[in-house]
Amino acid sequence: GDSVTQMEGPVTLSEEAFLTINCTYTATGYPSLFWYVQYPGEGLQLLLKATKADDKGSNKGFEATYRKETTSFHLEKGSVQVSDSAVYFCALAPQGGSEKLVFGKGMKLTVNP
């Protein structure tokens, strides 16, 4: 079945450091890919998404590119801030709809000043 594998962490970085969170997926066809962020004590918020190969999603300085050839959707940010401390989930929606979002296990990021 469909699955998502991502770095689990936890990861601690200093402010202004470069961030990469790896995410790879297994799915048939062309799923849609997402990064969700969960701040402490809150629900999930969509950070960015991509719906077809070579699409780049971007938001709040974060970027991820849908790579069909490597089945990857790695999240990057050039300079993290303390406010980026959160748990990051990679997810996919199977081709044809979002009836079942498949999540990775999540990665907790802490950014220190």
Partner 1 sequence: DAMVIQNPRYQVTQFGKPVTLSCSQTLNHNVMYWYQQKSSQAPKLLFHYYDKDFNNEADTPDNFQSRRPNTSFCFLDIRSPGLGDAAMYLCATSRDFRDDEQFFGPGTRLTVL
Least separation in angstroms between CB 60 and partner 1: 17
Least separation in angstroms between CB 99 and partner 1: 5
Least separation in angstroms between CB 78 and partner 1: 26
Could you say whether residue 104 binds partner 1 (CB under 8 A)? yes
Among 11, 13, 17, 44, indicate the residue that binds partner 1 (CB under 8 A).
Answer: 44
CB of 91 closer than 8 Å to CB of 99: no
The contact mask relative to partner 1 for 71-90 (x = CB under 8 A, - = no) is: ------------------x-
User: For residue 39, which of 70, 83, 96, 104 has the smallest C-alpha distance?
Assistant: 83
Least separation in angstroms between CB 9 and partner 1: 10
CB of 24 closer than 8 Å to CB of 49: no
Q: Which residues here bind partner 1, judged by CB under 8 A?
A: 32, 34, 36, 41-46, 49, 51, 89, 93, 96-101, 103-106, 108
